[in-house]
Amino acid sequence: MAAVAVAGLAPAARRRRSRTGLLLVCLGLCLGFTLAVDRSNFKTCEESSFCKRQRSVRPGNSPYRALLDSLQIGPDALTVHIINDVTKVLLVLELQGLQKNMTRMRIDELEPRRPRYRVPDVLVADPPTARLSVSGRDDNSVELTVAEGPYKIILTARPFRLDLLEDRSLLLSVNARGLLHFEHQRTPRVSFSDKVSVTLGSIWDKIKNLLFRQGSKDPAEGDGAQPEETPGDGGKPEEIQSEKDEPGAWEETFKTHSDSKPYGPTSVGLDFSLPGMEHVYGIPEHADSFRLKVTEGADPYRLYNLDVFQYELHNFMALYGSVPVLLAHSAHRDLGIFWLNAAETWVDISSNTAGKTLFGKMLDYLQGSGETPQTDVRWMSESGIVDVFLMLGPSVSDVFRQYASLTGTQAFPPLFSLGYHQSRWNYRDEADVLEVNQGFDDHNMPCDVIWLDIEHADGKRYFTWDPSRFPHPLNMLDQLASKRRKLVTIVDPHIKVDSGYRVHEELRNLGLYVKTRDGSDYEGWCWPGAAGYPDFTNPQMRAWWANMFSFDNYEGSNSNLHVWNDMNEPSVFNGPEVTMLKDARHYGGWEHRDVHNIYGLYVQMATADGLVKRSGGKERPFVLSRAFFAGSQRYGAVWTGDNTAEWDHLKITIPMCLSLALVGLSFCGADVGGFFKNPEPELLVRWYQMGAYQPFFRAHAHIDTGRREPWLLSSQYRDAIRDALGQRYSLLPFWYTLFYQAHREGIPVMRPLWMLYPQDVTTFSIDDQFLLGDALLVHPVSDSGAHGVQVYLPGQGEVWYEAQSYQKYHGPQTLYLPVTLSSIPVFQRGGTIVPRWMRVRRSSDCMKDDPITLFVALSPQGTAQGELFIDDGHTFNYDTHHSFLLRRFSFSGNTLVSSSADPTGHFETPIWIERIVIMGAGKPAAVVLQTEGSPESRLSFQHDPETSVLILRKPGVNVASDWNIHLR
């Protein structure tokens, strides 16, 4: 939940914590008019001085030149110096060939005044390198060959440029447009005019040291709590430099906030050209189309984790999370760019074909006059170094595996977390929670988790309970456990400044809060009023936080309590852009500027670690986070933040979650029903239907909205929601298997159609349908009063079976499918096998040993395949003890074979196969089951000639066993 009300007001009003703001918002919500984001609270590129400086660099005439004489090749990297011919400042380029078709390049200052931030903790390991060797050379360039790789790199000296080629075709160029712009650190000084400038470095350093020492007098500052001033910082002033400082370079103000910028301008920018590429995706989080747009004439896409109150759709504004990964797709090739930088980042996209009509492009092609289509991408970050991974595919699955090898895969969620989550801000008290819990049983609806937002804690002191409303949390947890359900409580990273609050006292005494520039504890306004912000970039802080989740420390918690980290951008109501001052100080002396986008990842990391530790390392944690960064997939789930109960917000959930899926974050969802405003019943139904087919399935609502537990609707709507919940629970074995595969291989759960049909141009811009695994195509209804949907069924020679009627359709075609209120258009691809549970019970835990029905959809060739993963559903034993089953089912030559897809796994289970539904089958004379060590037996069956569906009854075989079924 959200930056509320106060966040949308002018900062002065926010500081007074004006009630008017709350009132206005409440009025807005109650009257139902649209309250849009207050854009003036957030910077445009023009208002962000580094973005403006970077963007003012025009293509061509790059001043950078590689000094080929300095080139050195070591076993793991090549280094070469790069000079800026205008400033004469030297940079160093470090180039690495990596295994699996990747290249890494880093650019830093050769002799920085102060080390620049290099993002730690995102890569899972140092990526294995592949040796580079010089295979050609002339006056102005060097050709490099990557051992074991199919590609070559050409390094051009003047102007500096890199080209990556496979065979003779150019895949990607770096600095081809000459937009490398690396702001080296300088001596602070003041300009009196453009011509006269005075070096004030020594004075400046004295002032800084003075301020710093004053800060240290604070008794709260324990030893070692003080962020170290990094060497070189207080150094001697350097020579007067020739370049002039642009406004905003040494100090910047935004609204009433000023950023002191003690290190001056430090931004980095670089361009990448992608010949042959017209379609690019990724760089979440933005509330926009899946396919990225060109940014010419607009602001760039912005990556800066922000709590945006009532975000609007279809713009490039930053939202709660950032993953600086871009994917390019064409019919022939996929590749990815991973820009590892945690500072504020902007991304410009341009294209030489943008604005040309398809007809224009065709004409160009026929006349042979068209250029090759090309997309150019330009990254600009406020600080840090240039650290880029070029992931060269060639297929999109290769890019996924490449990225997963760098940053890890999706954490394997406990089964319950794939069920349905019921949340609102707030369930009032224990009785309310238990009534909602009972409501699901009374109305025969499944639910796994009930959620508590900030009001459950005692005065927003996280890790505590409101003594009057939640006096007996353990009893409440027991009652939920008796229904085999869980509770999630919110634990936010703003800590109430209150000397009677243990969390605050300890963090203050240990010196573990983020500090201001002068070394005192940073304080901001958030839910509890004045709040400190734990410095999660400090490993000691994370260990302390993780320890807070032990059952002793978090009183009233139990093993069926899981956690939600909200507001971890971090959200600061009275801060610039509702977040922390950029000159705040973190562990190691780094500025908040350097670490901003990774702060939220660390919060989720520490929380997930705490939940693992409290179980003695046995249980898989569930933690939801609003902010995220590259690598966040390793710690749990994310959602799209504070959306609104509007049809367009329902639609945008598809591109938003697909964009996250492409960059590794498979466990994505959006608040079902919309957070702000009251959804009309039809919208709520359609949202449940959408959510049932998206990875993280949680209903959530703002405190000022009306209650909307599904049974409060009239019967037609309630029945449609029950049906959607039923479809979700029925497909849990399929979801669980997909998540296991995502965890193992780094391949997304929710997929764009072009992943399976990479050459079908029609699929490249689809925003209203998606695939789950390679088996289900979903086109949820997202229009008010819809009587039908246009579904695109891709694939030459492909067949699709509508999941309810088994009606068969041939691809490719655009199908008009009539719908009713209860329709969720889902198609199973011919050639796949989907496992389901056919009895919907109270929660996933009540169903986990239930028998399985296999839905076999035959391809035109009469074949199909599928997998099923089974384990205990909640521990790490699948990994530590190989306690799991991964079964493979494959159908061909009229025979369905069940075998182990991973013989290293073993697991005893009562689960058996109770039925097999085969779509696209003729009528057999007999059906014979063979299991090892048993005589052949005949199975009874039923065939419907109209639909070509064959149902095999009661094969009765244990899911762990090997067997064959022959249709004779």
Ligand X SMILES: *[C@@H]1O[C@H](CO)[C@@H](O)[C@H](O)[C@H]1NC(C)=O
Residue 325 or 476: the one with the smaller Cβ distance to ligand X is: 325
By CB under 6 A, the residues from 627 to 686 that bind ligand X are none
Q: In the set 41, 101, 273, 828, which binds ligand X (CB under 6 A)?
A: 101
Closer CB to ligand X, 130 or 567, in the complex: 130
CB-count burial class (<10 Å; 0-12, 13-18, 19+) for 499: exposed
Which amino acid does the sequence have at 368? Answer: G
Q: Which two tokens stand for residue 302?
A: 């912005």
Q: Which is nearer to ligand X, 398 or 845 (CB)?
A: 398
Minimum CB distance to ligand X, residue 371 (Å) = 25
Query: What span, in angstroms and rounded, lies between the C-alpha atoms of 560 and 555?
Result: 13
Residue 309 C-beta: closest distance to ligand X, Å = 43
CB of 401 to ligand X, least distance (A): 7
Note whether 100 binds ligand X by CB under 6 A.
yes
**What is the closest distance, in whole angstroms, from the C-beta atom of residue 662 to ligand X in the complex?**
17
Residue carrying structure tokens 């003779």: 168
Q: Which is nearer to ligand X, 396 or 637 (CB)?
A: 396
DSSP conformational letter for 467 = T
Instruction: Specify the DSSP element, H or E, that contains 95.
Output: strand 90-98
> Where do the H-state alpha helices sit in 18-75?
19-31, 49-55
State in angstroms the smallest separation of the CB of 391 from ligand X: 9
Binding residue count for ligand X, defined by CB under 6 A: 5
In the complex with ligand X, the residue whose CB is nearer, 394 or 788, is 394
Q: Are 257 and 575 in contact (CB under 8 A)?
A: yes
In our burial notation (b when 16+ CB lie closer than 10 A, e otherwise), range 706-719 reads: eebbbbebeeebbb
Q: Name the DSSP class of 263.
A: T
Using a 10 angstrom Cβ sphere, with 0-12 exposed, 13-18 middle and 19 or more buried, the burial of residue 878 is buried
- Nearest approach, Cβ of 716 to ligand X (angstroms)? 51
Site for ligand X in 397-426 (CB under 6 A): 398
* Residues assigned a catalytic role: 566, 642
The answer for residues whose C-beta is within 8 angstroms of residue 963's C-beta and 6 or more apart is 897, 898, 929, 930, 931, 932, 955, 957
Closest CB 561 distance from ligand X, rounded Å: 42
Please report, as residue ranges, which positions from 142 to 161 form the binding site for ligand X (by CB under 6 A): 150
Listed in order, strand segments (DSSP E) in 707-837 are: 750-751, 770-772, 776-778, 788-793, 799-802, 808-810, 813-818, 826-829, 832-836
> 299, 279 in Cβ contact below 8 A?
no
Amino acid identity of residue 178, one-letter, is G
From 572, 512, 599, select the one nearest 547 (Cα to Cα): 512
Closest contact distance (angstroms) between CB of 394 and ligand X is: 4
In the block, tokens 């992608």 appear at 274
Judged by CB under 6 A, does residue 128 bind ligand X? no
Pick between residue 396 and residue 683 the one whose CB is nearest to ligand X: 396
- Measured from the CB of residue 151, what is the shortest distance to ligand X in angstroms? 8
Q: Which is nearer to ligand X, 150 or 247 (CB)?
A: 150
Burial of 819 (0-12, 13-18, 19+ CB in 10 A): middle
Q: Using CB under 6 A, which of 115, 394, 588, 726 touches ligand X?
A: 394
Both tokens of residue 790? 């246009």
Terminal-residue alpha carbon distance, the chain: 59
d(CA 850, CA 865): 22
Touching ligand X, residues 32-51 (CB under 6 A): none
Could you list the residues that contact ligand X (CB under 6 A)? 100-101, 150, 394, 398
